[in-house]
A and B are shown apart, each in its own frame.
Chain A
């Protein structure tokens, strides 16, 4: 292994270690609660009308081979 490659791998390892350590402390919320008024607007909902998005997903999934992870349904479905 060349010296350059060795130093590069050491730098990557050090970076990964720092990132892991940084993950041990909870990050400070960079968007304060009083700055989130736009997310309370219904137009920012990922799924404003569950009855409608569920139906459209149903139609598309019955015509296509792919399935899942559509956002409107994923994990918890984002129905709120």
Chain B
């Protein structure tokens, strides 16, 4: 939930603009939750995870619980169910520019089922996500096949999502309601191909391709563009964003994972991304995993770079400059680094013989984003519109979770 100025709104404008998820990303979250097996002939393990997550950066805090349970029934069926919650408290740079801080909660439930027949696994599921100004329903389907002596696994997936977008306003009496004049929709489709290939007795490769299309209202209704207006205020004026109603993107990645001569694993990934909005992105990631007694440690370094969308600008020269105009930071040009470390400790649960294995886990990631064409507009009074320092975002990402296998 975020607040925008609307009919009868109080003078205190409260346009959120700092939401963690922009609308066109919800489907991706849906894709992420597809908890189906990677191998055609293997069902997920009987397992339960309970996690607390915390994101803190750019004056935004997002935290909450997450639960995921996977359970086999017989030899050929497996079910999964999950719950996820984001409790958002935001006073981000976008919020400060055009609004005031806000709090909101997003809740998500997901269920899935997998059916194993021979070397083929069929999976499908449903995800529902709801927050005061956004509702998303997603279904997903996939078929996975082992072949060539089980050296190769090919998986085809399809995802379909329907979103409803609202905009919250604050009434003069302080009550927060959906703006009755604003109700938009967005539809999403995704097609994925995954090929896992055992190359040697120590090396495995994973190729992934995804084609995603979106249609409908794809902008964040709270965020604003700004255009030059010399002599007025701080030299710029805010206006609504105008996004295209469609977007299609292609992404492909290759990951190699190698079992070292000692018991440890090293992996590397490269991904290429391109979309019809003009964004081109590349990222490279390396991970090292090494066990030590009851512990398993992980280290990660990731580098990401993207160009800006064709219709993005930090500061337009005048009002109604183009048909499409956006100032979402996610569409800007930037580079980011992520450094991560994790530790898992395996322990026994006394008095619970039905638990075959249990681990306590902690993970920490530090995210550094350097924007190349997104300026700190809050400093316009000091530096002048268009001459402000480029914005930087540093964030801490914590995860603490317990996993049991039964």
Contacts and interface: CB of A to CB of B under 8 A. Distances in A.
Interface of A: 26-31, 33, 35-36, 38-39, 41-44, 46-52, 54-80
B201 A79 contact: no
Contacts of B390: none
Contacts of A62: 20-22, 25, 330
A79 B35 contact: yes
Given A68-B210, A80-B42, A29 B156 contact: no
8 contacts: A44-B259, A46-B267, A50-B68, A67-B249, A68-B28, A69-B252, A77-B34, A77-B35
B231 to A, nearest CB: 34
A interface secondary structure, majority: loop
A76 B198 contact: no
Contacts of A65: 273, 275, 277, 279, 281, 306, 309, 330-331
A5 to B, nearest CB: 32
A41 to B, nearest CB: 7
B289 interface: yes
Contact of B36 (A27, A61, A68, A76): A76
Contact of B291 (A43, A67, A69, A73): A43
Interface residues of B, number: 100
Given A31-B200, A64-B281, A80-B45, A75 B253 contact: no
A17 B58 CA distance: 57
A65 B263 CA distance: 36
Given A38-B201, A41-B259, A76 B142 contact: yes
Interface string B139-166: 0001010011111010111000000000
Contact of A67 (B42, B212, B369, B395): B212
A66 B172 CA distance: 40
B229 interface: no
